[in-house]
Structure 1
Amino acid sequence: MTGKLKLARAAFAAVILVAASAGAVGTAQAKPPAPIVGGTAASTAQTPWAIALNNSGSPVPSGQWCGATLVKANKIVTAAHCMDEPRSTYTAIQGRDKLTNGGGKTSKISSIWVDPDYGAVPGHDVAVLTLTTPFTGIATLPLETSTAADKAGAQPTVYGWGDTFDDRIQNQFRKVVVPVLGDTYCGDVYASEGYVANGEICAGYKQGGKDSCQGDSGGPLVLNGRLFGIVSWGIGCAEAGHPGVYAEVATYSATLATEINS
Structure 2
Amino acid sequence: MTWSKFDRMLKRTAALITVLLLSTAGTASAREPLVVGGTLASVSEAPWAVVLTNTAATRESKRWCGGVLVAANKVLTAAHCAGERVASYGVIQGRADLTDHSLGRFSAVSKVWVHPAYSTATNRNDFAVLTLKKPMTGVPVLRLETNPKADRRGAVPTVYGWGDTADTGPDDTLQKLAVPDLGDATCLGIKGYAENGYTAAANICAGYMDGTGDACQGDSGGPLVLNGRLLGIVSWGRGCAEPQYPGVYAEIAPVAKTLVEQVR
TM-score (norm 2): 0.89
1:112 paired residue number: 112
Whether the 8 Å CA contact 1:14–1:214 is kept in 2: the answer is no
Write the distance in 2 (CA, Å) between the matches of 1:141 and 1:215. 20
Write the distance in 2 (CA, Å) between the matches of 1:33 and 1:61. 19
Write the distance in 2 (CA, Å) between the matches of 1:187 and 1:82. 25
1:21 paired residue number: none
RMSD of aligned alpha carbons: 2.1
Unaligned runs of 5+ in 2: none
2:145 paired residue number: 144
Seq. identity, % = 50
Whether the 8 Å CA contact 1:56–1:63 is kept in 2: the answer is yes
1:128 paired residue number: 129
- Offset, 1:244: 0.3
1:65 paired residue number: 64
- Offset, 1:167: 3.7
Write the distance in 2 (CA, Å) between the matches of 1:148 and 1:60. 39
1:184 paired residue number: 185
- C-alpha spacing 1:78/1:35, structure 2 compared with 1 (3 Å): farther
Write the distance in 1 (CA, Å) between the matches of 2:237 and 2:100. 30
- Offset, 1:13: 1.8
Q: Deviations over 1:84-141 (max 9, x none)?
A: 1111111100000111111111000011110111126631000111100000000000
Q: Secondary structure at the match of 2:261?
A: helix
1:217 paired residue number: 220
Q: Secondary structure at the match of 2:159?
A: strand
Structure 1 residue identity aligned to 2:177: V
Structure 1 residue identity aligned to 2:94: G
Whether the 8 Å CA contact 2:237–2:245 is kept in 1: the answer is yes
Write the distance in 2 (CA, Å) between the matches of 1:91 and 1:33. 26
- C-alpha spacing 1:35/1:130, structure 2 compared with 1 (3 Å): farther
- Offset, 1:209: 2.0
TM-score (norm 1): 0.90
Q: Secondary structure at the match of 1:6?
A: helix
How many residue pairs align between the two structures? Answer: 251
1:260 paired residue number: 263
1:248 aligns with 2:248: no
Structure 2 residue identity aligned to 1:228: L
Structure 2 residue identity aligned to 1:82: C
Whether the 8 Å CA contact 1:11–1:32 is kept in 2: the answer is no
Alignment map for 1:222-233 (pairs within 5 Å)? 222-233=225-236
